[in-house]
């Protein structure tokens, strides 16, 4: 989701469509420290990307998260990462009607003829944990 602080949006306006992001300080994340392909959205069932720009970019998710919470700009973050701040009203989401549908978390490991038991156990534990509703809040339902 695209998110920011209420103070940021009060000061800079709320984007109504993804193309409005060109007028915002978009805090970018990727391994190279920039946002080369843009942020992906869905309109009429089809994905599209909007190239964003901003004063800050990094390859550290925690740093980007702090920048967003400090009101330095808007970020494109996972809902599970900002759930507490959303509940407390410290962050708000925008452009929700254009958000990508949820997608699965994937475990990637080297292909081997025999998968070590500890790797299989770890993957099974991840699967069990992330299939439970409310996993991002640390509240298990079972």
- Residue 141, helix vs strand vs coil: coil
Q: Which domains does the chain have, with CATH numbers?
A: 2-98 (3.40.190.10), 105-142 (no CATH)
Asked whether 9 and 71 are in contact (CB, 8 A), the reply is: no
pLDDT for 140: 42
Answer for the pair 77, 1: CB distance below 8 angstroms, yes or no: yes
In DSSP terms, 7 is beta-bridged to none
Q: Which residue has the higher pLDDT, 109 or 13?
A: 13
Q: What is the pLDDT of residue 35?
A: 59
* Pairing mode, strands 39-43 and 46-50: antiparallel
pLDDT in tens, 13-43: 999 999 999 999 999 887 664 556 789 899 9
Cα-to-chain-centroid distance, residue 141: 24
Let me know: does 29 contact 58? Beta carbons within 8 Å: yes
**Whether pLDDT at 138 is above 60:** no
Structure tokens given for 141: 């339902």
Q: What's this model's pTM, rounded to 2 decimal places?
A: 0.75
| 50 in Cβ contact with 41 (< 8 Å) | yes
Contact 26, 103 (CB under 8 A): no
Average pLDDT, the chain: 86
Taking the C-alpha atoms of residue 83 and residue 131, their distance in angstroms, rounded to an integer, is 17
């Amino acid at each position: 989701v695209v998110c920011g602080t209420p103070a940021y949006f009060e000061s800079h306006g709320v984007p109504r469509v993804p193309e409005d992001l060109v007028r915002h300080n978009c805090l970018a994340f990727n391994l190279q420290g920039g946002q080369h392909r843009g942020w992906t959205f869905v309109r009429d069932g089809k994905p599209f990307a909007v190239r964003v720009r901003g004063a800050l970019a990094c390859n550290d998710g925690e740093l980007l998260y702090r920048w967003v919470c400090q009101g330095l700009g808007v970020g494109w973050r996972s809902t599970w990462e900002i759930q507490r701040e959303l509940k407390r009203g410290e962050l708000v989401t925008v452009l929700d009607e254009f958000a990508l549908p949820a997608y699965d978390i994937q475990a990637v490991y080297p292909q081997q003829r025999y998968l070590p038991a500890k790797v299989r156990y770890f993957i099974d534990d991840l699967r069990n944990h992330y299939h439970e509703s409310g996993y991002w809040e640390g509240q298990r339902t079972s």
